[in-house]
Amino acid sequence: MKYGSGNFMIIAALALSAGSASSQVPDVPSALPMTDPPVTDQPSGQISAPSPVNMITIKPGAAPSPGAASATPAPGGTPAPTAVEVMTWSTKALADEVALSARNPETKPKRKKGAALPESKIAELRTRIARDEKDIKTRLKLAEHYEAEQQPGKMVELLRPVAADLSRKGLLLLARAYQLQKDYKEEIRVLEILRARKEKDYHVQYSLGVAYSNFGDRASAIDRLEESRRLNGRYYPAYEALLRETKRDSRWNDALSIAQDTVGKFGGKAKYMGELCLLYAFNGYLEKADEVCRTALSKDPRNPRTHVVLALVVKDKDGLDASERILKKAAHQFPSSELAQWAAAELYWEKKNQFAALKHYRAAVKAEPDSARSQIGLARAAFEEKRYEEALRAFVRACVLNRVYVQDLRKSASALRRAANSEWSSKYDGAIGKCGIL
């Protein structure tokens, strides 16, 4: 079965910004405030969060989830909003996880055993280079030391003057130095020299793909990664990087195909099955997602994301009660997982169990204080329970993390004024400036 009753039906366009050095945030309808800002990879600014998908229409009288885009409930109860398209919390959870899985891993220096050298040895090597500027072997040894010491500037200083004489190993080390400096344009230039020397070098093709990705040229990144995979069908890093790029490019069928190929080539390891589980769910293949997610859980029951994704699939297939059993267990098993706690809170809010929802929002914020979705959920839930001091702290924190939430704070202040609660309405009005908005 593909797609369920509506939670996973694609109604809005699935879009990631096109690859460029300065990708733009996908357009969002003004009537649909985003619950969290798009996730970006620094410094190139690549957007790796899907734009809102799987929207539903909130009918008059329906209570939106506190962690999804919605109006703030009035102190006396939930008002009847006008019909407006919003992102469901379950869709938001999947979109957030897809966004996180599409991020490039942080570039870290490789620490080779024995690469770091004592000061006396460094002095000796520098003396050799001073005597013979063409001593490439000595330059490479010293450059490896500086890589281990996280000093890419000194690597460039050593290798750039002799770039024309460097072997494959030396050029890869120079490209690595530029990568560590986040100078992706120079990294690409060096790697293109290597590619011209030997186009069938799958590792160089892969490295170029990653460099183009970091630079923001998604089309070139996909081309190079596809070529790397074609040259060596058993090179896993190419599959992993290509999967990230296709997700960023909203090529969901391609992403699913790559995830399937990964399992076929490298076996049903928990990591690969977990990724396949997420993509089946995000694409709306509920029966297959249910099967694969359960397989992934049997291989690695300690991954909170897989528990949550399975619960979202079951929610659409079998209803809230079946989903609750999975999320309740996940929230108990992973008290420090913001995702598990936030998802449990959202489900309980949807079931109108406000006490349980508030409990899990608090746990989510404790697990990750900088989670805007958890802070705004806590704020709205606490406000509904007339815990105005706790709600105010969470509103302020949420809008500091994401300025779109200043609207919730303003609406809450307005609701308090309508309820003739001058003390708290004044405090809420006074807190708006803390969001950094005039």
pLDDT category of residue 114 using cuts at 50, 70 and 90 = low
Quote the distance between the C-alpha of residue 358 and its chain's center. 25
CA 362 to chain centre: 22
- pLDDT score, position 24: 29
Average pLDDT over residues 352-372: 97
| Tokens encoding 154 | 């000194």
The DSSP result for 274-287, as a single string, is: HHHHHHHHHHTBHH
Task: Quick: pLDDT tens for 207-222.
Answer: 999 999 999 999 999 9
The stretch 143-168 carries a mean pLDDT of: 95
Q: Which residues contact 417 (CB under 8 A, 6 or more apart)?
A: 425
119-231: which CATH architecture?
A: Alpha Horseshoe (1.25)
Task: Give the predicted TM-score (pTM) of the model.
Answer: 0.77
CA 201 to the chain's CA centroid: 31
Per-residue confidence (pLDDT) for residue 113, from 0 to 100: 55
Mean pLDDT (the chain, rounded): 82
Residue 103: exposure state from Cβ atoms within 10 A (0-12, 13-18, ≥19): middle
pLDDT, tens digit, 9 for 90 and up, residues 54-95: 322 222 233 334 544 433 333 333 333 333 334 688 888 888
Lowest-pLDDT choice from 4-8, 288-292, 360-364, 421-425: 4-8
pLDDT, tens digit (0-9, with 9 covering 90-100), for 283-311: 999 999 999 999 999 999 999 999 999 99
**233 pLDDT higher than 60:** yes
309, 281 contact by CB (below 8 A): yes
User: What average pLDDT does the segment 348-362 reach?
Assistant: 96
- In angstroms, the CA 129 to CA 288 distance is 61
Segment 135-152, tens digit of pLDDT: 999 999 999 999 999 999
- The candidate with the shortest Cα–Cα distance to 407, out of 35, 18, 46, is 35
Question: Quick one: average pLDDT of 311-327?
Answer: 96
Mean pLDDT on 404-430: 95
